[in-house]
Structure 1
Amino acid sequence: MTSSRPPVSYDDAARLYCIIFLVLIVLLGSFTNDEYLIKKINPAVGQACDEIYVVGEGETVHTISDKCGDPFIVEENPHIHDPDDVFPGLVIKITPSGRRN
């Protein structure tokens, strides 16, 4: 008794595997979070920082703002009169943009 199905060619099998692979990539891409991808590519961007932050050696208001995701550090910390006048050990309040009211 012989089979009634025609044999599958290598081209058809390769095409099928490519389609399955592309569908999986699209599905996996729809489940990822853009913020996760940004942090994965550049972990220093948007890191979660504690609400109370102690300035470290070599840090500036700009670098802390980028690191913690808070563009309003000077406005929220009235004791910082000059953004260029931060020093190691200075305590500042951090409110990342995602937690703003």
Structure 2
Amino acid sequence: MRISLAVADAASFYCAMILLGMILLGSTRENSIAEEPVKGSQFCDRPCDEIYVVGEGETLNTISDKCDDPFIVEQNPHIHDPDDVYPGLVIKITSSRSRKMMMR
């Protein structure tokens, strides 16, 4: 009985250490991805590329009209609330024109 308890304690300790290491590694990678946030105004020349960065004062409705993509929420599962869109949010855009070309 004591041996199985010792083995269980050791296994749980090592699992906890591995989990802690994964959490620390994940948080380190997340913080080192970008030092400076990307602004929507940097993409004014090509406003409706496949990857779109939301600018100041934009909503999903204005972006949908501008880029001719009525299915923004469906293509971006990371948007849980369509009203919670903020500058710097990265979304995927597939315009109706691009969608028609893919269907051919």
Q: TM-score scaled to structure 2, two decimals?
A: 0.50
1:57 aligns with: 56
Q: 1:99 to 1:48 in 2, by over 3 A?
A: farther
d(CA) in 2 for partners of 1:69, 1:58: 18
Structure having the higher Rg: 1
1:66 aligns with: 65
Q: Please, which runs of 5 or more residues in structure 1 have no aligned partner?
A: 1-46
How far apart are 1:83 and its partner, in Å?
A: 0.7
The structure that is helix-richer by fraction is: 2
Q: Please, which runs of 5 or more residues in structure 2 have no aligned partner?
A: 1-45
How far apart are 1:58 and its partner, in Å?
A: 0.4
d(CA) in 1 for partners of 2:47, 2:90: 17
How far apart are 1:69 and its partner, in Å?
A: 0.4
d(CA) in 2 for partners of 1:48, 1:58: 15
| Aligned sequence identity (%) | 80
d(CA) in 1 for partners of 2:85, 2:68: 18
What is the root-mean-square deviation in Å for CA atoms of aligned residues? 1.5
Moved segments of 4+, more than 2 Å: none
**What do residues 24-77 of structure 1 show as CA deviations (whole Å, max 9, x unaligned)?**
xxxxxxxxxxxxxxxxxxxxxxx9611000000000000000000000000000
| Number of equivalent positions | 55
d(CA) in 2 for partners of 1:67, 1:55: 12
Q: TM-score scaled to structure 1, two decimals?
A: 0.52
